Structures are given as C-alpha cells and as structure tokens.
Amino acid sequence: MPGTTLAKLPKQPLLDRRTVGPAFSTIWLIVFLVFYVLFTKGRRRESYGIIGYASLLLAIMYLFNSVDGWLHHTKTSVTFGYILVHPFAEAFGVTSTLLLLWGTFRIIWDELVDRFPSIREQRFWWFAAKFTIFVISLISIYYTALFLALAAAWVRFMSLNTINDIATKRTGFEIAKGSFNFAFTLLVLAASSLTFLWKAKKFEGRRPLNRVWTGWLGTLFLCVRSLIEFALILAVYWPQVTRRDVQLTRDIYHGLLTGLYMICMYSMAHVVSQPHDASGPDARAVEAALRKHILEKLDRETKHPDRDAESSGFETRHGRLEARRFDLVLKDVAQSLPELLQDLVKDRALVNAETERKARKYIRILENEFGQLDPKVMARQERDRNLSRSYAPSKASLQSESTRHGRHSLNNFSKSAIGLVQAPNNPDARPRIPKPQRTNHHQPFGTFRQEIQDPNLDPQHHGRSSHWHRVGDYNSPEASAIPSQFGASRTNSNAATYNGGTSRQGQTEGIPWSRRQSRRNGGSGGRNLNELP
C-alpha cells in the first residue's frame, strides 16, 4: 500500500531469546557501574578517570542490551520504531571502546616516558598512537552514522537497493573498525611489553612485578578482546551466519574480558597512587642515586693510592686494588644512609621516612641478588679457567701411549701406514713420508715440540729450513729420564732432548717454544746449548 511504513504497522511480539544472554547483560551492567564508582572515587590520574567514564558508557550499553534481551524473552509487543534503539546502544559501545583504548595508552605512556629517555623514541610512540586513534575515531563516526541510517531506512521502508547499499557500506566500516581496534591494542601491548619487560630490566636490573601483573596483563586482556571481536565481525558475514547467532558469544566474552581488564587497571591505579610504590618515579630516582653512589664508591676504593700499592699487601688486578665483598660495601652504605640521602637526592623535600624506607628496601634487594659476590673468588675462578684453557691436553695426548707423539707425528704415522698398505709386496717401495710441518706456537701445553738454534751454526745466520731442530716430547721416556736440575717446570718431565744428536751435552732445560718469543729475544730460539751448565 503506497505511503505505508514500518512505523505505522501495529505492535508485534519480539522473537523469543534464551535467558542466558539477558542474564549476563544484567550482570555486566552491575559490574561496570561498580567499576565506574571505583575509578572515579578519590584522587586518580586523568588516564584512570578516562577508564572510569568508559565503564559508565559500557554500563549504559549493557542496560540497553539487558532490556532488549528481557523484552525478547517475554515476547513483549513493541512498535517497529524500536529498531532505532540499537544504533544508540551501539554508539555507547563504540564510544566506550575509544575511551578504553586511549585511556590504556595514556596509562602506559606515563610509564613509558621514564624508560624511553630518547625524544625520538617518545615521538614515535606518541605519533603512532595519535594517528591510529584518529583513524579509529573517523571510522567509528562513519560506522555509527551508517548504523543509524540503516535503521531509519528500514523504518521508512525505502527501496531494498538503498537498504542494501547502506548495509554494505556499514559492513565495510565495521570490518575496518574492528581491524584498527585490534591494531591499536597490538601497539599498546608492544609498548607495555617493551616498557615493563625489557626497558625496566635494562635500566633498573629487574622487572616491576606490580606493573607486569597489572598494566601488562590488562593490555593483554584488551588485545584478546579486540581479537575475538574482530573474529566475530568476520564470522557474521559467512554464509548461513547471522548476528543473532553470535550475540550470546558477544555478551559473554565482551563483558568477561572487559571485566578482567578493569580489575588489572584498577589494581594498577591502586598501586601507583600509594606513597610506597616500589616502582614509582620517586623510588626509581632513589635507586638510581644509590646505584651511582655504590659504583663511585667501588671506583674510589679500588684505585691505587700511590705507585707502591702492590707492595702494601693488597692484591692488584689490571692496575687496581681488589674490592671488598659486595655485602660489606652495602653494609657501609646502609649505615650512613640518612646522611647519604641528603646528598644524593636533588630535591631535599623528597627526603623523608618513606624515602629512607624505599632506599633500605632496595639495599635488601641488592643484598639478596648480589650479596655473595666476592671479587677475589671471581678473579681466582677466572685465572683457573684461563689456566685450564692454556694447559689443556691436546688431542694427541688423549691417544694411546704408542701414538702419543703430537699432532704432526700422528699425521705422518697415518700417511706412512697408508703407503705401506698400498705396496705390501714390494720391499723396495718406500712410502713417501711428508716433511713435518712447522710447529704452531699456539699449540696447547699437553704435547708440543720446541725449536732451538743449532749451536754449530753461525749465530748471525738464522735459517728456516735445516737450521732448526725439533725437541722431543717431554712425555716421552727419554725426556722423563732427564734430571730435574736441567729445568724446573709444572711437571717433573718438562725437560727436552735434543733430536739432532750434535749437542755436546744432549740435554737442555725447558725453553720457550714460541717463534714470536725467539724473535723478541734477538733471533735465538731459546738459550744456546753452549750456555747450559
């Protein structure tokens, strides 16, 4: 009939709906009203006030959803103009989401600026958040306007083509809104993770657990909520799936995850508002001043008072005196803490009983984590590790006694054996034994070969081929039979036998085997055999 619209039709009962959805909506209505009171009660930061107003808008949205659910459950008759209520309820939900996103970033921003001192890094986070929230706001405005236009088109019962065009555009903006909401929550989660899990560990030496279990966990809940919401938006546009099919899931997950997020944010608001906040800016300033003082104290104590410091009875290392045990240093700091805080803290008005309590708490933390540090023990362990690396047995010394002749001797033995196997029936065929390679002066101490200068040659002539002779392995039986007076070393058999056979005494003490050392000594490969006793 011409001129007839849905608004002029008689009342009709709503479709029946299960009781679970309206019951959850009623529960979330009460919960978010309580959170609104908690966030706005007392003196809070502005960012936490934003979360409180978002809670109020969520409560209004759930009021609409609860009334709508109970009307469907009781099959109450309403006019067709009732469909105009849904865009307004959606507008409250969209606005609350915007406030939640921006308020969460402001909370993380208050913690981020102290741990990202670079102005360039701070500008990056601020610009990224501002740009993303601006795009989300524009998309949300268009989405809400299209939602209202679609409801009005249905009430006026315009042509189906017009209704379809509006619904298609609304769908596109809804998908864009969900994707940008999820992207913004990822940005906030990344900022909180870098702030609480990485930067705090880097600058303060530990992660603030009261921030990790409140701020970081809250951003995680918000990110999961945005992800599920985006997934449900996409699920609506699958074939044979309607908004009514996902409404119950939306009522349950949306309120539950938002409630968990509110609990975390309120806990963080309670923590940061306390005067004894262990991770607040005042506590971090005191801790930084204490760390600086302890490092300066260690630097002063380990400096040489004069050039005769080594003869004063103190062990030295790298030009410095060895420090005391770290717990003793901390004990000295704790004894003079009241006077020390007056000198360390720039603002004298901040020095009070609470500041001293924070400082003593931090000293206890340092004692628990680093109180057992002893530089003498650590230096001794480092020297032992260096000795174990320098004097570790070589690969050849781990072989059997019959083949323990050094790396090059093992190589020559293997090649000789291969030559004998290849010509077993020809007694005149001799395997070609390669010339032994020169000794690597970095070879481990276990088995090595020393090089000495032939005493029968001209001292001014230093050849590199036949003028150098190998000294046998000190683990060999010949070396072990040498009397100990010819060379004291770490082992009883650290003497060497002269392989050339031209030495008048045939024995020498353990001499440096590094060619670099021989050049440093004027070109000789060690002591001349004529100089031996």
Overall domain count for the chain: 4
Q: In terms of domains, do 428 and 325 share one?
A: no
Q: pLDDT by residue (tens digit) across 179-196?
A: 999 999 999 999 999 999
CB 149 within 8 A of CB 111: no
pTM as predicted? 0.61
CB 55 within 8 A of CB 40: no
Q: Is 528 exposed, middle or buried (0-12, 13-18, 19+ CB in 10 A)?
A: middle
Q: In terms of domains, do 295 and 404 share one?
A: no
Q: In terms of domains, do 196 and 102 share one?
A: yes
Q: In terms of domains, do 266 and 118 share one?
A: yes
d(CA 228, CA 261) in angstroms, rounded, equals 15
Number of residues in the chain: 533
Domain boundary residue among 273, 303, 321? 273
**Partner residues linked to 498 by β-bridges:** 471
Domain that holds residue 155: 16-273
Query: Which segments in the chain show pLDDT lower than 50?
Result: 1, 306-315, 390-427, 429-434, 439-457, 459-533
Could you tell me if residue 527 is inside a domain?
A: yes
Residue 445 CA, distance from chain mean position = 41
d(CA 122, CA 326) in angstroms, rounded, equals 36
Per-residue pLDDT, 361: 83
The torsion defined by the Cα of 61, 67, 71 and 77, in degrees rounded to 10, comes to -90
d(CA 189, CA 192) in angstroms, rounded, equals 5
Q: In terms of domains, do 454 and 526 share one?
A: yes
Closest-CA residue to 26 (of 58, 67, 57, 55): 67
Per-residue pLDDT, 496: 38
Could you tell me if residue 80 is inside a domain?
A: yes
Residue 134 CA, distance from chain mean position = 31
Q: In terms of domains, do 151 and 269 share one?
A: yes
Determine the 3-state secondary structure of 341 from DSSP: helix
Task: Give, for 56, the enclosing helix (H) or strand (E).
Answer: helix 46-74
Could you tell me if residue 242 is inside a domain?
A: yes
Domain boundary residue among 217, 239, 273? 273
Per-residue pLDDT, 321: 67
Could you tell me if residue 6 is inside a domain?
A: no
Q: In terms of domains, do 386 and 481 share one?
A: no
CB 112 within 8 A of CB 56: no
d(CA 267, CA 210) in angstroms, rounded, equals 9
Could you tell me if residue 9 is inside a domain?
A: no
Q: In terms of domains, do 44 and 110 share one?
A: yes
Q: In terms of domains, do 55 and 172 share one?
A: yes
Per-residue pLDDT, 13: 65
Per-residue pLDDT, 8: 65
d(CA 223, CA 105) in angstroms, rounded, equals 12
d(CA 77, CA 81) in angstroms, rounded, equals 12
Q: In terms of domains, do 155 and 105 share one?
A: yes
Per-residue pLDDT, 524: 45
Q: In terms of domains, do 66 and 181 share one?
A: yes
Crossing angle for the helix pair 243-272 and 46-74, to the nearest 10 degrees: 150
CB 394 within 8 A of CB 447: yes
CB 189 within 8 A of CB 224: no
Domain boundary residue among 405, 440, 475? 440
Task: Give, for 283, the enclosing helix (H) or strand (E).
Answer: helix 281-302
Could you tell me if residue 1 is inside a domain?
A: no
Sign of CA dihedral 361, 366, 372, 376: negative
Can you give the CATH number for the domain in which 114 is found?
Answer: 1.20.1070
Could you tell me if residue 76 is inside a domain?
A: yes
Could you tell me if residue 463 is inside a domain?
A: yes
Closest-CA residue to 192 (of 172, 171, 214, 177): 214
Q: In terms of domains, do 181 and 142 share one?
A: yes
